[in-house]
Amino acid sequence: MTFKTLDFKSTLITGGGGGIGFAIAQFFVAQGKEVIICGRTESKLRDASKQLHDCPYYVLDTGDIAAIPAFIKKITGAHPELDCLVNNAGVQRPLDVNEMGVEEFTRKADQEIAINIQGPMHLAVGLLPHFKSKSGAVIMNVSSVLGYIPTSVINPIYNGTKAWVHFWSMNLRTQLEQAAASGGPTVRVIEIAPPSVGTDLHRERKDPNDNKKDKNPSALSVEEFMEDVVKAWKEDRDVIGAGPSQKVVERWYSEFGTDYEKATGKK
């Protein structure tokens, strides 16, 4: 029997203390899933946990790569049923080479790369042995429409990291599908590519509310975003857009999807 996206029992959600991560956690709790959240700020996690029926929470900076192996050992020991990872934590920083010195730019860029790329990779690969011991498991990676078309020029590092998440998700999915076809366990890889959503992601911009609907009519509320994502989960899609990002995702795959499938032997 095919392991579907929502067949998992227990999920770890990074950046689960607010925004998209918290909204995902709310939905999964409502579906009777075990939900574990983690993030950098304990006070936010504590408040979120109370709203999520006192779900377990752990303080973890996903950019602290050295801390991840011990965290994985701890989390799988405390929650052996864990069979889903939602790589949601991320930062978006306005970085301009014309306005910033070398040290400031590279320091902030390195941290953004660690949180947006290295953390998700280390968590996914580190949890794979545990996930492969299950009858099925799911890895969900949150990318961005900006990883498909980098229109937010003030966020060059963010755009690049989310392009990495997109391509990493494609290749990871293919590798794990090939393993499953050879008799290995099923580990699904789902990519979620949000458009502009009214969260606090823009908190470091001059106007931190420029992703809210009253200032950006094309932006989605968190509720609108979740409506599209939940629909796609129930349809068992591997790549999920929401609102305006759905068309961008469809355009990208209509142009390059067949080429990728031919190159990887799917067609």
Taking only the tens place, the pLDDT of each residue in 111-123 is: 999 999 999 999 9
Spell out the residues 6+ positions from residue 48 whose beta carbon is closer than 8 angstroms to its own: 16, 17, 18, 22, 25, 37, 57
Q: The domain 10-196+236-264 belongs to what CATH superfamily?
A: NAD(P)-binding Rossmann-like Domain (3.40.50.720)
Q: Are 9 and 28 in contact (CB under 8 A)?
A: no
Q: How far apart are CA 16 and CA 57, in angstroms?
A: 9
Set 148, 158, 253, 260: catalytic member: 158
Q: How far apart are CA 252 and CA 103, in angstroms?
A: 36
Confidence of residue 2 (pLDDT cuts 50, 70, 90): confident
Confidence of residue 209 (pLDDT cuts 50, 70, 90): low
Taking only the tens place, the pLDDT of each residue in 82-104 is: 999 999 999 988 999 999 999 99
Q: Are 115 and 100 in contact (CB under 8 A)?
A: no
Residue extents of the structural domains in the chain: 10-196+236-264
3-state secondary structure 61-118: CCCCHHHHHHHHHHHHHHCCCCCEEEECCCCCCCCCCCCCCHHHHHHHHHHHHHHHHH
Q: What is the mean pLDDT of the segment spanning 185-200?
A: 87
3-state secondary structure of 195: coil
Does residue 260 carry a catalytic annotation?
no
3-state secondary structure of 136: strand
